[in-house]
Amino acid sequence: MPGFRRTTGRIAAVTVAGVLAAISLPILDALPAGAAKAPKSPVTVTPGDANIFTVAGTPPAFPDDVKAAVLAAIAAYLKAASLTAAQKGASDATGLATLLTGPAAARLTSTDRATLLDEGLPRATGKVKITTAPVTLTGLADPDGHVVIVNAAIDATTVLPTRSGNVTVKRTGDLVFAPDNGTWKIQGYTLTSERTGKKLGVTPTTTAPAGSTATSATPATTTRTVTK
């Protein structure tokens, strides 16, 4: 009964396809838009408390749009300064240029660079992960309620696998954001970067000029601990 067998086979194939579709569609539908195509981000920025101070009247609630923009900028900074540098040996200069104000970007030519960027580390041989402790935001609002300055207290950890084992970078301190042509950019910082791991390939300890502060030149210190 060849005809019967062909018919049975078609029915079975359609049934299996239908079952698979029935199972997979709800799962795909439950995922965030684009999640089915984009891989999970290697940078995870966890939001924390958000406080705001104002010079007049009752402090407004911390604007959601400002919070989202600053957190996104932090993620972008960590990706450009740490992830890309770890994967390619050099930071994402183009990406950084869009994240820092002009005066802050100018400081990248100083000794602060070693603290701000993870350059010179062993090349990553596997997936690099960056996570943060909850980021606390503190904003300053003008008399009209517009936020003009946001400080982000960060505690970020980068883990990159290398041929000699994992290298860990712990970056802690403050990133100061200000609005700049419609986006929030880093205009200042007070950061400490501590690297641990074998064969770091960088100067064990470097410190930016003590007290080199300013809008974009807050003291940046780098502590690199080499474990052999």
Footprint of other proteins on this chain (CB under 8 A)? 51, 53-57, 59, 103, 136, 138-142, 148-149, 151, 153, 174, 176, 178, 188, 190, 209-219
Q: Closer to other proteins at the Cβ: 35 or 53?
A: 53
Q: Name the minimum Å distance from CB 136 to other proteins.
A: 8
Q: Which is nearer to other proteins, 138 or 157 (CB)?
A: 138
Question: What pairing do the DSSP bridges indicate for beta strands 220-224 and 165-180?
Answer: unpaired
Between 50 and 124, CB nearer to other proteins: 50
Backbone angles phi, psi at 105, to 5 degrees: -60, -35
Q: Which is nearer to other proteins, 136 or 164 (CB)?
A: 136
Looking at residue 109, the DSSP 8-state letter turns out to be G
One-letter amino acid for residue 59 of the chain: P
Q: Please report how many Cα atoms fall inside a 13 Å half-sphere around the Cα of residue 180, on the Cβ side.
A: 18
Minimum distance from residue 131 beta carbon to other proteins (Å): 22
Rounded Cα distance between 220 and 123, Å, is: 24
Which residue number, 116 or 176, has a Cβ lying nearer to other proteins? 176
Residue 150 Cβ vs other proteins, minimum distance, rounded to whole Å? 9
Name the residue nearer to other proteins (CB basis): 25 or 214.
Answer: 214
Burial of 156 (C-beta count, 10 Å sphere; 0-12/13-18/19+): buried
Bridge pairing between strands 135-141 and 47-54: parallel
| 3-state SS class at 151 | strand
How many CA within 13 A on the CB side of residue 138?
7
Least CB distance to other proteins at residue 76 (A): 20
Question: Taking the complex as a whole, how short is the minimal distance between the CB of residue 55 and other proteins, in angstroms?
Answer: 4
Closest CA relative to residue 132, chosen from 189, 73, 92: 73
Give the three-class secondary structure for 49. strand
Compute the least distance from the CB of residue 84 to other proteins, in Å: 26
